[in-house]
Amino acid sequence: MRVRELAGRIESNWEGDGDREISGAAGLEEARETDLSFITQRTLKQAGESRAGCLLVPADFPNQDRRTVIRVLDPREAMARAIAILHPAGAPPRGIHPSAVIGENCEIAGDAFIGPLVTIGRGARIGARVAIHAGTSIGDEVEIGEGSIIYPNVTIYGQARIGREVILHSGCVIGADGFGFVLTGREYRKFPQIGWVEIGDRVEIGANSCVDRAALGVTSIGEGTKLDNMVHVAHNCKIGRHVVIAAQTGFSGGVEVGDYAVIGGQVGVGDKAKIEAGAVVGSGSGVLTSKIVHAGEVMWGTPARPLREYLRQLAALSRLAKKGKTPGTA
């Protein structure tokens, strides 16, 4: 595709050789003369060393070398759109593999794909253009909305409701029992987990992540939310819309997360904590049981506290270390 055509597709202005052919996309260091790449304010100095045939650059980029560029408001976002144009997804597979096992009274759209060794329980409903890949297990009365992709070896327990254009990566477990036990005398008795899971439209859940069913009621994940690999969402959690959660984060039971919150990696969140809309919890933080992280607040550390307070405490510890003292010593 020529640069001028690509610029037109992403509704942006180009400079330089508009007839240059671009056939792929790559990072700044790996890009070749036929590749598109992008720069940000952090990588401005690397632009001159890149061999990329065309660069997506910020609107104020000083193009002193008169390179072939496309000026955009957000190079990373524009790169995502450009990659989809340069590397379009192939036609989705269709049909039911002969080794698949389908339960009674299922509704499966004619253009869905059911891969090898998939099992689907009774009464399941599989929407149009859904692709369920090899080795996946779908429980009774599960609903999967149109355009969703279920990668190999996913397990979805019964009664779960999966929205449209959802992506579940390999090893996901949706709807397993929550960790609910009652101490009776000298032993723990299981509290029956009879709720379900609802996953909204355009949610993506990374490999080996787990979303537990509610004890009573529903565990829910809102529209557009993205979970990284190895994230655990416990029973009765309510995760809002367009939340992003990095790897190895765990939510205890009954946690609420508001819309557009950002949760870093390896965060631990205690029972019934509440993280309000737009809040940020930094990587490695610990949010205590029943703690409220207020809307828009940036929290860090264990226990999680406002970022400025956390940085002040780090600075104080650093000063103590330089004086040869450690906290708790005379």
Catalytic residues: 235
Which residue is listed with tokens 């439209």?
201
Residue type, 62: P
Dist CA 3 CA 174 (whole Å): 43
CA angle 79, 81, 87 (to 5 degrees): 90
Dist CA 97 CA 87 (whole Å): 27
Dist CA 277 CA 261 (whole Å): 5
Strand, coil or helix: what is 136? coil
Q: Taken in order 101, 104, 110, 113, is the CA torsion positive or negative? A: negative
Q: Is 266 left (phi over 0), alpha (psi -120 to 50) or beta?
A: left
- 154 with 136: CB under 8 angstroms? yes
Q: Taken in order 248, 249, 253, 257, is the CA torsion positive or negative? A: negative
